[in-house]
A and B are shown apart, each in its own frame.
Chain A
């Protein structure tokens, strides 16, 4: 079930991403971007990353997209301009992008089995599972316990934030503050520019 859901979310995400890349209208493209992010959030959920999923939805699909829409509308009243309709270097870009994706996927297919085997050798839970598979005896309880112990929860994540990753989180917070200040400063209108802006825009 989880696997199938994962497949579904992945397919939706990829299809929507491609449509994001191809749609000409910027607003539609932005909306499909939001949908990609939602699909990605679904994948997060399935990967035991509930907090990441939630914050992605809030930050990306919520705040970022909304602000982008604002700017888009502020800057571009008329609808389709030729810089939206015309793509630059589509062929080269396509080749590059496909080459990139193909390379990574081929390498992943080549390397991942070994990695998984190594991980299985290290991970006791996986060991149990492997033993189970070998002996073909499935003890429901054992699997449940193992899965429960393995499963990440928001509480565990929170604990990790405030213990092991405290410094990183503090730095991230500071970065956010500085970026906010920077954004305010950059977007500020200069007094002289005011007159021109009102006449022009």
Chain B
């Protein structure tokens, strides 16, 4: 059967983006701008759900072709969509969450002076994201990888009049560029390598089709193992940039300068999981270089622990959530790293994607709830300035509670299942593996992070909604609950947060989906360790208890002695990661560029200034002739005349 309907998935947002841009140019405040985006995204979401249920992923990978971007001689660039388990799960998350956030945004952004622009960029982002996910070619993926980066930049800097927003946008863009450069090199290396081992004249660009890559992999692994290692390392670099992993995670917390719906969609649910998606997509390649995978796991572990610790000390509600996102992304990378044990790769991909899906729902829910809080508090998001919002925002309170519980991993909610899946996998990976030690560490880190997650989530919840009601003066006299239009998408997300874990995980309702990853050996169901389940539940509940207790008793690390105090201040300063990055990259770059600038100004510019001065000097030397005096000019003329005459007469 033809899956031309799959083309609706990217085309809906694309049309919405184009139409939205035109509207934005004509009337930036157009109050109907959201309708176009709503329509495009709804079509997209419905189409992707349709594909999810219709495509028989167990048997084949569906390639929906039909569009040739370029076709002459060796250059053949057909753009086609690949529908398989990995992409379908991701695409459904993207379009469904995207659609819900779009519904929400119409209320949240109401009255903004660049209302239409917001929705144009929003649609453009969803388009790029769908193409990124559905691409069947690494080059096309890269193209839209940059596209989502651009949209992210535009969205973080949406209120570009604000210097902090503009700087955050720049920071995100530059750090992503750093990583993307590596990614691009990886792609080029891979292209080179595949060119070495295949003689298929399927077109130069088609060499990077996933199918071609995966078929060429065994040959490549035996003939060019070094190259494969480099490619994997480069792809990992790209992934950790986009997915904000240590040490490139510092852009994500600053990205919260963008509008909250954007934080929810781009910087929590979808774009930042593109790195995880890339690892999953390239799983058949990654599984051949377990060293890189374990390294990814270490990065993930460090990120998860570090970000969770920092989240403990943040006062800004959105920043807590941002660090939580970073930490959860670290979880996903730990999950992927289990692929270092080759048999576990399908399960690793499954666990990672499972967490991506559940995380998208509950994190989007949390962000949008935080958006409601912000909306009611007059754009104040500092938790020290308000508390006890339970009374004024009852519905938001419930929604936040659901999302927070899912994040904290309260049993039976979705976060619990996906986190448990990852922890179980980490335990399974410890058996007969050369990397057992690493996985033991990962497991411990995972447990600790789970506890920390529960603590900071409950702390944030408690500070915001419990306690005696305090409002900042920006909120006005009567803080009000968000409109129904804004609450309904949240309700849908909340339902997802509660039941998605159950649906995919233990009940296996749609779980079959993830059990067959193309190009990988069919996954064996690993033995399940029920003690892991219990341990993670205990840790989560304990964390919640500690968090609530510390928040209500005002117990802080500050009161826990000298060590606690310094730990606390370090956490408040994000463990000086930004400073370290500045010292490691920014300062040297500035130093070099300052020297270069000096070289340019004094060396090169100096040289050409000297050269420029030559004719000037020469002109100066002869300018004594230009006195404007008739006598002088005529004398010169006469000298010239006589000289010419002499030459004519005696010159030969």
Contact = CB atoms under 8 A, between A and B. Distances in A.
Query: Are A and B in contact, CB atoms below 8 Å, in the complex?
Result: yes
A93 interface: yes
B649 A89 contact: no
Interface stretch (B238-246, B286-294, B380-388, B638-646): B638-646
A96 B645 contact: no
Contacts of B639: 92, 96
Interface stretch (A98-106, A118-126, A151-159, A172-180): A98-106
A89 B642 contact: no
B1 interface: no
A89 B631 contact: yes
Interface residues of B, number: 12
A164 B56 CA distance: 110
A106 B641 CA distance: 17
B635 interface: yes
Interface in A128-170: none
Interface in A81-108: 88-89, 92-93, 96-97, 99-100, 103-104, 106-107
A106 B645 CA distance: 12
A150 to B, nearest CB: 31
Contact of B645 (A88, A89, A97, A100): A100
A103 B635 contact: no
B642 A103 contact: yes
A12 B631 CA distance: 28
A103 B638 contact: no
Nearest to A87: B631
Contacts of B638: 93, 96-97, 100
A93 B639 CA distance: 9
Contacts of B629: 88
B649 A107 contact: yes
Contacts of B635: 89, 92-93, 96
Nearest to A97: B638
Nearest to B637: A96
B648 to A, nearest CB: 9
Contacts of A89: 631-632, 635
A157 B646 CA distance: 36
Given A89-B631, A89-B635, A96 B642 contact: yes
Interface in B453-504: none
24 contacts: A88-B631, A89-B631, A89-B632, A89-B635, A92-B635, A92-B639, A93-B635, A93-B638, A96-B638, A96-B639, A96-B642, A97-B638, A99-B642, A100-B638, A100-B641, A100-B642, A103-B642, A103-B645, A103-B646, A103-B649, A103-B650, A104-B645, A106-B649, A107-B649
Given A92-B639, A99-B642, 5 more contacts: A89-B632, A92-B635, A93-B635, A96-B642, A103-B649
